[in-house]
């Protein structure tokens, strides 16, 4: 793992270049280092290289790793969240990217109220309506938005998507465009801001940045391949 600082730097440079290429301020794009399946010691090496923002897709992994690592590190939950795990994870994370139903949003709002917290969340949109993936369908998010905005312990940051995998990242572009346009549309119809777009992964983050991503979720390109079996 001693190539980790160089890999992190290379990703930061590529984010910078992609943002500059399309006239965006590179400071408007955050790098979420997706550390799922990797041990705390690997994360510690990334922290030493200046990375403080990490993403995990399983509540259990955050619960296991967070106590082993410095408290100033920031965790984001990016995987599906079951209602029965909300209470445990909410105090540990800075944001949840995977609010995928109105029911889950209501549960998070209720538990945030009980805990005296405000939850920063993204609404996950399943743009291709893939049955294997979670997320609101486009029409569902439109129909639910008013009810979501009424949940006063949710601070809705914006939208998140995981488009279908395409070997050619250029084929992901239409999904990123659609998420941005959907965001613009929802802002207009609701009059409420949805400033952030969580989109782009290891193989397509530069294209996501060109389409307006404000946070890229990068795992493999920083930490290397994960063991085959993972969620
Ligand atoms: C694993 C994961 C990523 C990172 O994927 P890489 O291809 O390894 O960069 C991003 N987002 C979500 C939701 C993930 O589960």
| pLDDT tens for the 231 residues of the chain, in order | 579 999 999 999 999 999 999 999 999 999 999 999 999 999 999 999 999 999 999 999 999 999 999 999 999 999 999 999 999 999 999 999 999 999 999 999 999 999 999 999 999 999 999 999 999 999 999 999 999 999 999 999 999 999 999 999 999 999 999 999 999 999 999 999 999 999 999 999 999 999 999 999 999 999 999 876 544
Cβ(163) to ligand 1 under 6 A? no
Given the candidates 3.40.50.720, 3.20.20.10, 3.40.50.300, 3.40.309.10, the CATH classification of the domain at 4-223 is 3.20.20.10
- What pLDDT, on the 0 to 100 scale, is given for residue 231? 46
Ligand 1: nearest atom to the Cα of 217: 10
Secondary structure class of 132 (helix, strand, coil): coil
Distance 139 CA to ligand 1 centre (A): 25
pTM above threshold 0.75: yes
Distance 25 CA to ligand 1 centre (A): 24
Residue 72 exposed, middle or buried by CB count within 10 Å (0-12, 13-18, 19+) = exposed
CA distance 194 to 110: 22
Q: How far apart are CA 101 and CA 85, in angstroms?
A: 15
Tell me the best of 55, 122, 208 to mutate to test the pocket of ligand 1, counting ligand atoms within 8 Å of each CB and taking the most: 55
Q: Tell me if 95 sits within 8 A of 157, measured CB to CB.
A: yes
Q: Is 57 in the pocket of ligand 1 (CB under 6 A)?
A: yes
Q: What was the pLDDT predicted at 228?
A: 67
Contact 176, 125 (CB under 8 A): no
Give the position of tokens 């619960």: 63
pLDDT digit string, tens, across residues 85-143: 999 999 999 999 999 999 999 999 999 999 999 999 999 999 999 999 999 999 999 99
User: Which atom of ligand 1 lies nearest, measured to the CA of 202?
Assistant: 9
Other C-beta atoms lying within 10 Å of the C-beta of residue 50: 10
């Amino acid at each position: 793992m001693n190539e980790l600082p160089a890999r992190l730097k290379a990703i930061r440079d590529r984010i910078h270049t992609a943002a500059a290429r399309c006239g965006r301020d590179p400071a408007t794009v955050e790098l979420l280092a997706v550390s799922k399946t990797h041990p705390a010691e690997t994360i510690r090496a990334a922290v030493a290289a200046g990375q403080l923002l990490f993403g995990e897709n399983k509540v259990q992994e955050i619960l296991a790793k967070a106590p082993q690592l410095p408290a100033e590190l920031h965790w984001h939950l990016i995987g599906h969240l079951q209602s029965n795990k909300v209470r445990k994870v909410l105090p540990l994370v800075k944001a949840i990217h995977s609010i995928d139903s109105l029911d889950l949003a209501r549960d998070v709002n209720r538990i945030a109220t009980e805990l005296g917290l405000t939850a920063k969340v993204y609404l996950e949109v399943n743009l291709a309506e893939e049955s294997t993936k979670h997320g609101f369908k486009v029409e569902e998010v439109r129909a639910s938005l008013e009810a979501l905005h009424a949940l006063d312990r949710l601070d809705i940051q914006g939208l998140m998507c995981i488009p279908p995998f395409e070997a050619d990242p250029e084929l992901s572009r239409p999904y990123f465009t659609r998420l941005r346009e959907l965001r613009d549309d929802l802002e207009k119809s609701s009059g409420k801001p949805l400033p952030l777009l969580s989109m782009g992964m290891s193989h397509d983050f530069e294209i996501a940045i060109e389409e307006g991503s404000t946070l890229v979720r990068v795992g493999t390109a920083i930490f290397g391949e994960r063991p085959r079996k993972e969620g």
